[in-house]
A and B are shown apart, each in its own frame.
Chain A
């Protein structure tokens, strides 16, 4: 009886150890390896990959459109594209660059589909976030920053969010957006100066 309990406990412990070891192993693996594993059929690798990038990617979308419903659609659509394109991933390029390029293209498609009067206007964004009930809850500086980011032109906002959310280098952002490095730097400079001014004012 005791031997049986001991056997069951030891088996459970061994199972836990294996699970913990596997999870630790997964945490250590690079994004590129995880994506390769997922492309070969390891669904757990995708779980790990998703856990790593879900929040930054979601913020990238929601701070672009400032509309949770649209952001949800864009976010899900981007992940669907990543899942479909899993076999086309080449480990030579960093996974982040590949993933944000898909997300960026998805977003650009979204903006193209929108009617000309629909694009997010800085004034509209500022008005939307001047809700007194929200202002009361949130920090004033954060709200100003959020409104300032929303008020930026699309290209500058896109470049800034890629820099802030993904932590990509200028060259990588250039690859994602399909422009030159100097263009990225220029857009960032304009965005930073605009936000500085708006925050000071």
Chain B
């Protein structure tokens, strides 16, 4: 690290850039080699322990020993890649793209940019005000704010690692769908007068920042920063989640979950959404549990509705947004997004049998 070392205006020297890129490629190859050996590793571990592989304990241990490294490795890869991709975007550029866009097109664009724009949850209020006051329509702003936390790289990476790419892609599609339709609906309701007064009266000119020129090395560093920030923070939750998942995998009888959370029980989808609202977690902590629930006969739509509800409709976020939105507008927000999640739950249950 050349932190504090003043390089002046020269962005990067060529040989060091080549070194960075070579090191990145070498790491990716190493990653692939280790990843391909995971199954043999978990089999070796269970065989080395004094437990019978077909016992409940054996099943739990092999689940844990295989899933923990697999999930952490896939998550590392996805988070790194997203960190690099996001270095091409900024909230200010996104706002310029969205300002004055018609609803419809604007909602689709906003939901898509919600995934790609770097965005930290402590920036939610400045971002909301910054968007609305610079002429981004309210519904379009909501599409962005719904998509950003719900369809994120952690959720997609973990779903991909644990339940497969089909489910991950469907989640991506439905998550974007909920963000687009909910934002569009809120826009059609014309609720601008339900914003807090000071937000509505604020008109600002969007600032033009001279773009910070990034080199390839800067983008690799952005990926590494994302790794430290996200994986560095969520790994204990993931391991805890997989441990709970391993317990469910080994010890909870399948018939129990199939009755409570199976496809036969239609009411389980709304129940899952309601239970999810007061809960606050990131995708990382609950997805491993979700995977174990699914393998034991809980319906996929029910489980995903629960997950979306936990991530997208969280009480702490509402409290933060209360500074800019009236209670009535927050109620509409919960109602519209909750309905969208319900629809996703029922659709998923119908599609994946």
A and B are partners in one complex rather than unrelated chains: no
A interface residues, Cβ below 8 angstroms from B: none
B interface residues, Cβ below 8 angstroms from A: none
